[in-house]
Amino acid sequence: MTESVTSDAEIRSILESETIAVVGCSSTPGKAAHDVPAYLHERGYDVIPVNPFADEIFGRSVPDSLVVVDDEIDVVCVFRPSEEVSDIVEQVLERDDVRAVWTQLGIRDETAAERVLESGREVVQDRCMKVEHRRLVA
């Protein structure tokens, strides 16, 4: 079992980040992959939606992958199935700016998480960013 972030202090520290790239962000209200990033956006986070099947979300153009995001990214939040986490982590590891990878509820990949940790970054798995923000920050 990898040493993912679990303490409230560590989670609060990650939530103090400014820019969150949301891989799998949805343009469909009512879906968690839309409503959670919308919540974060409404609370002042710079949310970068990443989705190869959407053109615009939250009034901004949507890059196909993390590789083509020009902005600095603090946290990568993942709304994709667990089996896709490894490929997303591969993209994270090609960047110098990402400090943490956060997988939403029901999403975990121990091997990918281990690779993130070995690169000196933090990992939160199987937790909802909105729930944790409400609990610790709001």
DSSP lists the bridge partners of residue 122 as 100
Q: What was the pLDDT predicted at 2?
A: 57
**Can you tell me the distance from the alpha carbon of 48 to that of 35, in angstroms, rounded to the nearest whole number?**
14
Inform me whether the pLDDT recorded for 1 exceeds 80.
Answer: no
H or E stretch at 48: strand 46-50
Residue with tokens 């902005």: 71
Instruction: Please name the amino acid found at residue 108.
Output: R
Q: How does DSSP classify residue 52?
A: T
Give the whole-angstrom CA distance, residue 92 versus residue 101: 8
| Mean pLDDT value across the chain | 96
**Percentage, residues of the chain above pLDDT 70:** 99
3-state secondary structure of 27: coil
- CATH number (2.102.10.10, 3.90.950.10, 3.40.50.720, 3.90.1150.10) of 8-136 reads 3.40.50.720
Confidence of residue 3 (pLDDT cuts 50, 70, 90): confident
